[in-house]
């Protein structure tokens, strides 16, 4: 298990970033899932004239919301992996500095 490839600073940075990422991206995923209006501007919709009927538009928005919710959770999951890796690295760094 002696695979140490991050220094103490990088692993700490990864740790903080991934904690932040998990919290924020999970929450954003939830907000997308419940279709929060505040996030409407950040949906991948076609510009100008892409929708001809109100129903079509609403359908697209709904698809966009659920797609973005999943994307947020995917990113959050990736941050969970980052958290595990950098946590392991951080632990390795700490242990080696103590034993020295």
Partner 1 sequence: MGSLFRSEEMTLCQLFLQSEAAYACVSELGELGLVQFRDLNPDVNAFQRKFVNEVRRCDEMERKLRYLEKEIRRDGIPMLEIPGECPEAPQPREMIDLEATFEKLENELREVNQNAEALKRNYLELTELKHILRKTQVFFDEMADPSREEEQVTLLGEEGLMAGGQALKLGFVAGVILRERIPAFERMLWRACRGNVFLRQAEIDTPLEDPTSSDQVYKSVFIIFFQGDQLKTRVKKICEGFRATLYPCPEAPADRREMAMGVMTRIEDLNTVLGQTQDHRHRVLVAAAKNIKNWFVKVRKIKAIYHTLNLFNLDVTQKCLIAECWVPALDMETIQLALRRGTERSGSSVPPILNRMETAEDPPTYNRTNKFTFAFQNLIYAYGVATYREVNPAPYTIITFPFLFAVMFGDLGHGALMAAFGFWMCYKEKPLQAKKIDSEIWNIFFGGRYIILLMGLFSMYTGIIYNDIFSKSLNIFGSSWRNNYDNSTLAENKLLQLNPDSNDYLQSPYPFGIDPVWQLAESNKIIFMNAYKMKISIIIGVFHMLFGVCMSLWNHLYFKRRISIYVEFIPQIVFLTLLFFYMVLLMFIKWTSYGPTPGKLGSNDPEIIKTSAYCAPSILITFINMMLFKTDPNTRPQCDDVMYAGQMGFQKLFVIVALLCVPIMLFGKPYYIMRERKQRAQSQPLANTEAAAENGGVAGAIQPAHHADEEISEVFIHQAIHTIEYVLGSVSHTASYLRLWALSLAHAQLAEVAWNMLLRKGLMSKGFQGGIFLYVVFAGWAAISVSILVLMEGLSAFLHTLRLHWVEFQSKFYAGEGYLFQPFSFEVILDSAGQAEE
Quote the tokens at residue 49: 């004239």
- Out of 4, 59, 66, 67, the only residue in the binding site for partner 1 (CB under 8 A) is 67
**Beta carbon of residue 93, minimum distance to partner 1 (angstroms, whole number):** 17
**Beta carbon of residue 51, minimum distance to partner 1 (angstroms, whole number):** 9
Question: Which residues make Cβ contacts (< 8 Å) with residue 50, sequence separation at least 6?
Answer: 60
What does the binding site for partner 1 look like in residue numbers (CB under 8 A)?
17, 20-21, 24-25, 36-44, 54, 67-68, 70-75, 78-79
């Amino acid at each position: 298990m002696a695979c140490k490839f991050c220094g103490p600073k990088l692993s700490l940075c990864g740790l903080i970033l991934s904690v932040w990422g998990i919290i924020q991206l999970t929450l954003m995923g939830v907000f997308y899932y419940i279709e929060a209006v505040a996030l409407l501007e950040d949906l991948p919709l076609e510009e100008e004239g892409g929708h001809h009927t109100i129903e079509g538009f609403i359908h697209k928005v709904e698809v966009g919301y659920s797609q973005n919710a999943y994307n947020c959770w995917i990113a959050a999951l990736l941050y969970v992996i980052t958290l595990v890796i950098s946590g392991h690295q951080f632990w390795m760094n700490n242990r080696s500095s103590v034993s020295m």
